[in-house]
Amino acid sequence: MKHVARKRFGQHFLTDGGIIDAIVREISPKAGDAMVEIGPGLAALTQPLVERLGRLTVIELDRDLAQRLRGHGQLDVIESDVLKVDFAALAAKFSPAPLRVVGNLPYNISTPILFHLLGFAHLVADQHFMLQKEVIDRMVARPATSDYSRLSVMLQWRYAMDNVLFVPPESFDPPPRVDSAVVRMVPLAEPPVVDAARLGEIVQVAFSQRRKLLRHTLGQWLDQHGFAGSFDTQRRAEEVPVAEYVALAQAAPQ
């Protein structure tokens, strides 16, 4: 029976064979890799991956799709919302091999998924995700550009990232109303030591009114928290490099 894409799950199924081959080449799966796929859907990417891996763990929320996937002898199926999956427990099953995470992420919850995985970056070798191109533009954006945002800072302090492949709407069924792309995310081997929650708080305050100078937002926050150091608040949030946000989070009082 044909599976009808469900809007509430943000389902858009990849159908373009050429794009699928290109994604698999970018991922470069090897036999025995500890790979986890998020949102396998109709297994368009799953099948060529598992043929190279031998075995693959997949996370699928849609009950009907999960049932269909269980019929595949080389898949370990986790029927769950990915935001509830403990990737540390998953990593323990594969230890000492680090996780490789891939997937065509639902566009409606892609950012929460990226932040969920941020907490498990120390257990991951790499991540390859298909996302809305606009989101990837923000992920890899440099300071002093319109795309540079909270997402840029919160991911770049922990990952090296590259936009590796453009994917047009006609590659999907049904076609989304946006362009897509594939991003490669490699956790930094020696990331700066920082309280991620404190960094997140500082960055959120900074970008809360991105058109205003930081003295109106982050400057007031620093005063309220008794910050005695120096930080130029005569800039807008998008003008501050990732390293300066990290240094501020390291120096700010708890």
Q: How many domains does the chain have?
A: 2
Residues 23 and 65 in one domain: yes
- Is 36 found in the same domain as 115? yes
Contacts of 142-147 with CB under 8 Å at 24 or more apart are 143/238, 143/239, 143/240, 143/241, 143/242, 144/238, 144/239, 145/238, 146/238
Q: Which of 163, 187, 211 is the last residue of a domain?
A: 187
* Position 9 pLDDT exceeds 70: no
Domain of 221: which CATH number?
1.10.8.100
The answer on 219 and 122 residing in a single domain is no
Whether 2 is covered by a domain: the verdict is: no
- The predicted-structure confidence for 46-98, as pLDDT tens digits, reads as follows 999 999 999 999 999 999 999 999 999 999 999 999 999 999 999 999 999 99
Domain boundary among 159, 187, 215: 187
Rounded distance between C-alpha atoms, residue 24 and residue 22, angstroms: 5
Same domain, 161 and 139: yes
Asked whether residue 1 is assigned to any structural domain, the reply reads no
* Rounded average pLDDT over 142-170: 97
Known binding-site positions for S-adenosyl-L-methionine = 12, 14, 39, 60, 81, 104
Is 230 found in the same domain as 108? no
Per-residue pLDDT tens digits for 21-49: 999 999 999 999 999 999 998 899 999 99
Query: In the listed set 134, 166, 187, which residue is the last one of a domain according to the structure?
Result: 187
Whether residue 203 sits in one domain with residue 151: no
Q: With contact defined as beta carbons under 8 Å apart, do 130 and 105 qualify? A: yes
One domain for residues 244 and 125 = no
Rounded to whole angstroms, the Cα distance separating 10 from 98 reads 29
Closest CA to 218 of 226, 246, 207, 239: 207
**CATH number, domain with residue 147:** 3.40.50.150
State phi, psi for 103 to the nearest 5 degrees. 160, 155
Confidence of residue 10 (pLDDT cuts 50, 70, 90): very low
**Residue 11 confidence class, pLDDT cut points 50, 70, 90:** low
By residue range, what is the domain housing residue 99?
7-187
Known binding residues are 12, 14, 39, 60, 81, 104
Residues 165 and 51 in one domain: yes
Tell me the average pLDDT across 114-118. 97
